[in-house]
Structure 1
Amino acid sequence: MSFLRTLLVSLLALPGLLSAQENPRTILVLDGSGSMWGQIDGRAKIEIAQTVMGDLLAALPGDQELGLTAYGHRTKGDCSDIETLVAPGAGTRDAIATAVNGIQPRGKTPMTDAVTAAAEALRYTEEKATVILVSDGIETCNPDPCAAARALEQAGAEFTVHVVGFDVSDPEALEQMQCLAEETGGRFLTAANAGELGEALTEVAAAPEPMPVTVDFAATDGEDGPRIATPLIWSLSRGETAILDFERGATVSADLLPGDYLVSVLRPEDEASAEMTFAQGDAPQTVTLALPALLPPASLEAADSAPAGSTLPVTWDGPDAQNDYISVARPGDDGYETYAYTRKGSPAELLLPALPGDYELRYVLSDGRKTLATRPIAVTEVTASLDAADSVVAGAQLPVTWQGPDYANDYISVARPGDDGYESYVYTRKGSPGQLLMPPLPGDYELRYVMSQDRTVLATRRVTVTEVTATLASEDSALAGATLPVTWEGPDYANDYISIARLGDDGYENYAYTRKGSPAQVVMPTVPGDYELRYVMSQDRTVLATRPIAVVAISATLEAPAEAAAGQPLEVRWTGPDYANDYISVARPGDDGHEAYTYTRKGMPLSLTMPLVPGRYELRYVMSQDRTVLASLPIEVQDVQATLALPETARAGAPIVVNWEGPGYDRDYISISRPGDSRHDAYSYTRTGSPLLLRTPAVPGTYEVRYVAASNGTSVLARKEITLTEVSADLQAAERGAAGGNLAVHWDGPDFSDDYVSIARAQSSDDEYETYGRTSQDSPLILKLPEQPGAYELRYVVGQNRKVIARKPLTVE
């Protein structure tokens, strides 16, 4: 009985079957056909199989996933009599043993279909799967077991059938069983009697010796970096056994059996190392280790010690990559106290920490903040001293004599004891003694020498700030807007001032600096009421003295006609304070601005120009301070008319006579423009009288003559169209002349003011010329020929817009 058990154990011990972690799931397919009642050595084969199966299941690992399929065990003559008695899984040994012991052989031998059913139960197309078939006879249902085996192998993820031919002598049956095994990569074994079976089982139980495979080892310069081509030092071991021991090479190789190994590599240049554990199977592989990226070399040179807060020259050598820097830090600290970029050159000017102690200079590669070089540095203590008066009045400038390092932005400050900030300060770069502004409030304070780096206090000295006083004297009341003399006594510090403000108001209405002397000239507010005069020390706007004052109302009057013509200069009589920049204005009622104004300083009465747009307006007396209106008077501005008389046509560029009627204000004018164009081509003031002479544009076309009222803004009072016709000219002269000689030019043309005849280079612009003569000199003109020979052109040019109205070619020889 032991031979079949040994056979099955041997099959399960084939590489990849025994370990549950590595095993494919397995189904035992047991022949339950009628032929299993045949006997070997006096016992039925089914009984032998049942006994062996029981022993086998007891010997298998508990977590081995195992199932059972049987065929021919339920009905006679039925090729579909195939049943999976136990689904594959862990812990199925008892169920399989019970199922095997209940099999009663009855039917046919659908051996191939049973293997297919077992494969499907194992989901062989998705996972590794193994079937172990135990059969004693020939296939009696499927005509082609080999074809079925090939189909299973091709469709399976990794499918294997092992076949045990139990007491089989039929050559065709043996051929079928062997084909099932070989087509799926499995083993085929036979057992005819105990002796032969023992020899076969010995062969199967002896698992084949594993073969060593070649493993290559390499290293990269950093994660995902290039492979290192320079020699490295390699070590390789399995457990306590060394396989490679300090072997040198950029890469190395070793022939290894399956198992777990430890490999390590050392780079001699920087002693960087890496190691890893890897599992070796039955296939060759390359194991790659990542060494830290090889850093470029760098060096540092500097003094062994330097005072705290000083700037230390550090000579360096290194890659000088973008944003590399030299830093100073506490040993073991990943950060830094200060740094200087290498791009600023060597030596680097490095600011040392404010606190004494042991530090480390570093060359830091910005990429990854890797330290390439270090050097120790001792930062030594630095001292300072202060000397000044023991007491001083509030707000005064105190001379403070000091000694100290005088680093950039060091300062002397005054502060309340225990306060981290300061009341005021002066930079040490301004020299000793420093002039330090004292606080405005009396009390006990502390003078400090402060090193700017980390605001480190190097020295302190106590000082008492004593009270400062001031007085004010003035009239008890003043008119609104008036300038009040205020006599004062006080410290007269820079930017101290005398102000006037509402009672309880932190700000002011007006002020005057004390530096302008006593009495101060303070302008009173425009709104009557109770106010307060103050002596204000500019520092913190500290009030040293106050005095109450009453501001009383002030009035004004206006006198003028009730009506005026648009744009008319109007005489306005007024009374009022006549403060600096007070003015009389005309404005629309409710409008905060104005249409026109005249300062009251121009006298009484004064002339005020009315708006050009008719309508209801308001005259106002406006006090310049806050634009306070002291008086107003309504006025009606009436419309004004104008007429124009002129010819309907004229030659372009010729002056025309224009008769006009209109208000004739001082800045009114008659203009000529293109219709719709707000600009003008020419104009004449109406103050020259009517009629007047108006010059026309030189370009022909339709134009518009306008009467423009311009006393206060502009308004067109009248328009009339005129058509300007083309003008022409004629030139007569020799076609050639000697360079530098004279040329007589006969001309006929409009002879407008500023017209001229010119000689110009051919193809040059119309406003260019070599020489010219005014048409006012009459015809003919004698023109000097150019000194340079070439092609030229005679031109008649209208002077108004330099338009050429006649041309004649000319050759200078």
Structure 2
Amino acid sequence: MCRFLTKFLNRGDVPFVGVCGILFVKFRIPMFKLFSTCAGLAALVAGISCFPTNTSAQESPGKTIIILDASGSMWGQIDGQPKIEIARNVIGELLNDLDPNIELGLMAYGHREKGNCDDIELLVPPGKVDRGVFQEKVMSIIPKGKTPLTDAVEQASNYLQIEENAANVILVSDGLETCDRDPCVLAAELASKGIAFRTHIVAFDLTAEESASFRCLADETGGTFLQAQDASTLKDALEIAVEASSVAKADMPAKPEVKLDPATLNAPESVPAGSVFEVTWEGPNNRGDYLTVVDKEADDGKYGNYAYTRNGSPSKLTAPVDPGLCEVRYMADGGKVLGRVDIQVTKTEGTLKAPSEAVAGSSVSVEWEGPNNKGDYITIVAKGADEGAYRAYAYTANGSPAKVRALPDAGEAEVRYVTGQGGKTLVSVPITITEADVVVSGPETIDAGDELTVDWKGPGNQGDYITIVKADAEEGKYNSYAYTKNSDDGKVTFTGVEEAGEDYEIRYVEGQEGKTLASAPIIVLPVSASVSGPESAVAGSEIEVEWIGPKFKGYYVTVVEKSAEIGKYERYFYTRNEESPAKVEIPQIAGEGEIRFMTAKGNVLASAPIQITEATAAFTKVPEKVAAGGKFRVEWEGPDNKQDFITIVLPDAEDGKYNDYIYTHNGPDQDLSAPDEPGIYEVRYVTSRKNFVLARKKVEVVAE
């Protein structure tokens, strides 16, 4: 702990106090920036337990709840991957490296309904982490709704009982409050209730005005407020937040005195708009000091793109995207300007060369010239689309020409060169999107659950697929499907649906936005099946089952306990691989059983009862004594089911343990080897799979 405190006191970071509280991570980042967020977020959470102590519960970090934003904006893409997928992956990586002693929970909002501010759910109560369950819950989160972040923080704090316990909440969000709650009112309540409670905020790509709407959550609870705009500043901010979250409130050092000595800056006279440039500086380097570049007339305290001074001189800054006279400023705690220097931001231009027409959904080659700043991209949008709008895109960093997919809809459109910073269009050219010639055709009818072959004609772009759905299904819905890219002959084969009906259709769906480009009607006919077997059978034995029914891919026959859930199975055979009758092994537990004819998706087409009787066994001949390491034979009566075996072990050995063994179905003419160590042992008859011991007999192993 002392080693950490020494490091903390010598750092030049934003001040913070306390340990237990809410860590607020606000995501609203340009598309090219989130991958750096991922590593930082994993480090952020893992850091909660980086510094174990033997302090009391009130002095320790306490339990933690991750609140994951599942509002609709989490479908926004970064480098072609939705933010929700990136968040899922980050949490998955976090779970793999998590301190096993940390007590972690999971909450989400906006994942079940659109427009419902009450859509908040605790998916995993905080406790020792079951990684499989936690990851399954994370992967099940589908963004849909609003951003009730204030209610979510309040619910988490109530669950954690902050009046009595230290606690942490980590909020991962990419937007501001949208449900008519005032975060500052809640902040005051939390500050008055929590015995060891803080709210930490790391605000990503938000203006000072936006940040002010929730900064109170940190200020009122004695927490940490940090800004982050890109990979570098995000990493810095998360490191500070991790250290703040890993130290108990009673152990935090006092806030050091802020030095306000003048700073000197040296920057280029001019830089192109949106470019990265270096600034050398000398200054006090207080915790949280930073350099920023803003309009020359901006009020003191305003900030634009920035870099923390803690990383040393020179610092790298990104110029604003709009040209004009600007100022580089050295900023200290509270928005005090300790130094400034003028810099001229010059206009950048670009050119585009693209075809005048393109088929909907096709790949379009676009030649471009431009500044090629970080995050700049080429996109195709509808004519007159809002500034910053994008559909499919290609980063300029990948070179010219760029390959961009055309819109799925016919009509007038634009090819645009868009800056990564601010989403400003530098140049655009018109393009007309023409209808794609797309056709699908298949059989008029198909048996429920059977495979179908579909002929198709269309663009065959990456992600395009053929599926079968109800005719009134929403756009983008699918059941089983096949990608067109995997077809060389204009045909695809895949499994149909298991529910019969006359209102289905085959669809060709483009992979970019899930739009249906062509469809054809199809009727799904019902199928039937039957199964029969003996009225009763011994547990674990093999029986013959007569069956009639479809021999579709994945259809099978199994025998289970009558009370088994639909979809559960034991031993089975695939109907497509067998003729009737066929053999199947029954469960090893006595009771009422059921023979089931199952579909590939676990539905029951037919069933028949069977009484499973208890399996018994007895040893009829076992020698009283055998020589250590010698061979001997035993005789028995039993079911002799496949893979039942006889072994010799110590009397206190767990059921299922074995040394040398023989399979009972091979008959009594087999030698069993005695252990080498003398002593009292036990000969056992053991069933396959469940390892039930049906019979046992003592035997003495003696030295020769």
Q: What TM-score do you get using the length of structure 2 for normalisation?
A: 0.58
Correspondence for 2:305 among 418, 424, 430: 424
Structure 1 residue 781 displacement after superposition: 4.1
Correspondence for 1:799 among 688, 692, 697: 688
- Identify if the C-alpha distance between structure 1 residues 628 and 383 changes in structure 2 by more than 3 Å, giving closer, same or farther: closer
Letter in 1 for 2:368: W
Letter in 2 for 1:648: E
Alignment correspondent of 2:594:
704
CA deviations on 1:509-549 (whole Å, 9 max, x unpaired) are 33221111111222222222222222222222222212222
Matched, 1:623 2:514: no
- Identify if the C-alpha distance between structure 1 residues 407 and 703 changes in structure 2 by more than 3 Å, giving closer, same or farther: closer
Contact 1:795–1:806, Cα closer than 8 Å, also in 2: yes
Matched, 1:458 2:344: no
CA deviations on 1:179-232 (whole Å, 9 max, x unpaired) are xxxxxxxxxxxxxxxxxxxxxxxxxxxxxxxxxxxxxxxxxxxxxxxxxxxxxx
SS at match of 2:321: coil
Matched, 1:551 2:439: no
SS at match of 2:534: coil
SS at match of 1:540: coil
Letter in 1 for 2:303: Y
- Identify if the C-alpha distance between structure 1 residues 350 and 648 changes in structure 2 by more than 3 Å, giving closer, same or farther: closer
Matches of 2:308 and 2:355, distance apart in 1: 45
Matches of 1:648 and 1:510, distance apart in 2: 62
Alignment correspondent of 1:209:
none
Correspondence for 2:672 among 783, 789, 808: 783
Structure 1 residue 724 displacement after superposition: 3.7
Letter in 1 for 2:480: A
Alignment correspondent of 2:583:
693
Alignment correspondent of 2:395:
513
SS at match of 2:374: coil
Matched, 1:723 2:611: yes
Letter in 1 for 2:683: L
- Identify if the C-alpha distance between structure 1 residues 457 and 638 changes in structure 2 by more than 3 Å, giving closer, same or farther: closer
Letter in 2 for 1:532: E
SS at match of 2:422: helix
Matched, 1:412 2:296: no
Letter in 1 for 2:686: V
Contact 1:796–1:805, Cα closer than 8 Å, also in 2: yes
Matches of 2:466 and 2:617, distance apart in 1: 58
Q: Aligned ranges for residues 69-218 of structure 1 at < 5 Å?
A: none
Contact 2:559–2:596, Cα closer than 8 Å, also in 1: yes
Structure 1 residue 771 displacement after superposition: 4.3
Contact 1:612–1:714, Cα closer than 8 Å, also in 2: no
Matches of 1:796 and 1:717, distance apart in 2: 37
Matched, 1:608 2:490: no
Alignment correspondent of 1:309:
none
Matches of 1:430 and 1:703, distance apart in 2: 70
Matches of 1:674 and 1:417, distance apart in 2: 78
Alignment correspondent of 1:443:
324
Q: Aligned ranges for residues 615-764 of structure 1 at < 5 Å?
A: 615-616=501-502, 617-677=504-564, 678=566, 679-690=568-579, 691-710=581-600, 713-731=601-619, 732-737=621-626, 741-762=630-651, 764=653
Structure 1 residue 650 displacement after superposition: 3.3
Matches of 2:428 and 2:373, distance apart in 1: 17
| The structure with more strand, counted as a fraction of residues | 1
SS at match of 1:445: strand
Structure 1 residue 786 displacement after superposition: 4.1
- Identify if the C-alpha distance between structure 1 residues 488 and 352 changes in structure 2 by more than 3 Å, giving closer, same or farther: same
- Identify if the C-alpha distance between structure 1 residues 500 and 793 changes in structure 2 by more than 3 Å, giving closer, same or farther: same
Q: Aligned ranges for residues 276-355 of structure 1 at < 5 Å?
A: 351-354=256-259
Correspondence for 1:492 among 372, 394, 402: 372
Q: Which deviates more, 727-736 or 522-531?
A: 727-736
Structure 2 gaps, min length 5: 1-221, 223-247
Q: Aligned ranges for residues 216-295 of structure 1 at < 5 Å?
A: none
Matches of 1:446 and 1:653, distance apart in 2: 82
Structure 1 residue 666 displacement after superposition: 3.0
- Identify if the C-alpha distance between structure 1 residues 634 and 350 changes in structure 2 by more than 3 Å, giving closer, same or farther: closer
- Identify if the C-alpha distance between structure 1 residues 791 and 497 changes in structure 2 by more than 3 Å, giving closer, same or farther: same
Query: What is the root-mean-square deviation in Å for CA atoms of aligned residues?
Result: 3.0
Contact 1:416–1:422, Cα closer than 8 Å, also in 2: no
Matches of 1:782 and 1:539, distance apart in 2: 80
Q: Aligned ranges for residues 511-550 of structure 1 at < 5 Å?
A: 511-550=393-432
Letter in 1 for 2:453: E
Matches of 1:343 and 1:646, distance apart in 2: 72
Matches of 2:259 and 2:530, distance apart in 1: 89
Letter in 1 for 2:265: L
Letter in 2 for 1:579: N
Structure 1 residue 563 displacement after superposition: 1.4
Contact 1:649–1:723, Cα closer than 8 Å, also in 2: yes
SS at match of 2:513: helix
Contact 1:697–1:800, Cα closer than 8 Å, also in 2: no
Matches of 2:666 and 2:409, distance apart in 1: 73
CA deviations on 1:607-665 (whole Å, 9 max, x unpaired) are 23222222111111111222111122111111223333533343333222233332212
Correspondence for 1:588 among 460, 470, 475: 470
CA deviations on 1:396-448 (whole Å, 9 max, x unpaired) are 22332333334444333323334211332233343433332222222222233
SS at match of 1:505: coil
Matches of 2:380 and 2:617, distance apart in 1: 78
Matches of 1:432 and 1:680, distance apart in 2: 66
Structure 1 residue 562 displacement after superposition: 1.2
Structure 1 residue 386 displacement after superposition: 2.4
Q: Percent identity?
A: 36
Matches of 1:342 and 1:783, distance apart in 2: 67
- Identify if the C-alpha distance between structure 1 residues 458 and 590 changes in structure 2 by more than 3 Å, giving closer, same or farther: same
- Identify if the C-alpha distance between structure 1 residues 480 and 761 changes in structure 2 by more than 3 Å, giving closer, same or farther: same
Alignment correspondent of 1:214:
none
Letter in 1 for 2:643: D
Structure 1 residue 683 displacement after superposition: 0.8
Contact 2:561–2:587, Cα closer than 8 Å, also in 1: no
Q: Which has the larger radius of gyration?
A: 1
- Identify if the C-alpha distance between structure 1 residues 747 and 626 changes in structure 2 by more than 3 Å, giving closer, same or farther: same
Structure 1 gaps, min length 5: 1-322, 324-340, 356-381
CA deviations on 1:238-268 (whole Å, 9 max, x unpaired) are xxxxxxxxxxxxxxxxxxxxxxxxxxxxxxx
Letter in 1 for 2:554: R
- Identify if the C-alpha distance between structure 1 residues 407 and 613 changes in structure 2 by more than 3 Å, giving closer, same or farther: closer
SS at match of 1:697: coil
Letter in 1 for 2:545: V
Letter in 2 for 1:410: D
Matches of 1:474 and 1:449, distance apart in 2: 44
Structure 1 residue 763 displacement after superposition: 5.5
CA deviations on 1:68-112 (whole Å, 9 max, x unpaired) are xxxxxxxxxxxxxxxxxxxxxxxxxxxxxxxxxxxxxxxxxxxxx
Letter in 2 for 1:547: V
SS at match of 1:601: helix
- Identify if the C-alpha distance between structure 1 residues 626 and 389 changes in structure 2 by more than 3 Å, giving closer, same or farther: closer
Letter in 2 for 1:597: Y
- Identify if the C-alpha distance between structure 1 residues 431 and 516 changes in structure 2 by more than 3 Å, giving closer, same or farther: same
